[in-house]
Amino acid sequence: MCIDCGCGPSGHDHQHKETEAPRKTISVEEDILSKNNRLAAGNRALFARQGIFTLNLVSSPGSGKTSLLEKTLVDLKNEINFAVLEGDQQTTNDADRIAATGTPAHQINTGAGCHLDAHMVGHGLEHFDLETIQMMMIENVGNLVCPASFDLGEDFKVTLLSVTEGEDKPLKYPPLFRDSEIMLIN
């Protein structure tokens, strides 16, 4: 059936007038991460005022972020006052492991979210006495894609790569490896 005039499927014995309106393109140029970047700048300023050095740990799930943190916190607990923000979709398992080292830890559950953002980190900081912290470790959600795009206000983004993941991860996920200041191989 013709949509314009309702004539049947047997064919058209008449012409239809073009009724399509001229198309207009409107260019909207706005940085979709601008709000996150403003909040990250606020986090960075807060860290600087408090003298807190901050690392954002990013890797695939199961590559060893929490194990690396546990070992680091135990080995350096008499030298540096740490705090840890734990990002994960569900559970407090990692925050519980960190707290068992005697380090203040706060869990941020993202639900279906695949990364932490500056807003979440800003609210997570409310759970710490920032006057006592020298180094903030942020364990991001296990993911090699989304965390690459989000500035949290950290001093350095650290990518952890497990050799069991294969040698092609930097080729498959170049933004994360390009934007990380430090890369650790586990």
**Placement of tokens 């092609």 in the chain:** 168
Residue 123 belongs to some domain of the structure:
yes
Residue 169 belongs to some domain of the structure:
yes
Q: What is the pLDDT along the chain (186 residues), one digit of tens a residue?
A: 555 555 655 555 666 566 667 888 877 777 888 999 999 999 999 999 999 999 999 999 999 999 999 999 999 999 999 999 999 999 999 999 999 999 999 999 999 999 999 999 999 999 999 999 999 999 999 999 999 999 999 999 999 999 999 889 999 999 999 999 999 999
Residue 29 belongs to some domain of the structure:
no
Q: Is the dihedral of CA 60, 106, 147, 183 positive or negative?
A: negative
Q: Which domain holds residue 122?
A: 35-185
Residue 15 belongs to some domain of the structure:
no
Residue 77 belongs to some domain of the structure:
yes
Q: CATH number of the domain that 50 lies in?
A: 3.40.50.300
Residue 4 belongs to some domain of the structure:
no
Residue 20 belongs to some domain of the structure:
no
> Residue 88's beta-bridge partner residues?
109
**The model scores a pTM over 0.75:** yes
Distance CA(141)–CA(66), nearest Å, equals 11
* Tokens describing residue 68: 């690396």
* Tokens describing residue 47: 């860290």
> Count of domains in the chain?
1
Residue 5 belongs to some domain of the structure:
no
Torsion-angle region of 18 (φ positive above 0: left; ψ -120 to 50: alpha; else: beta): beta
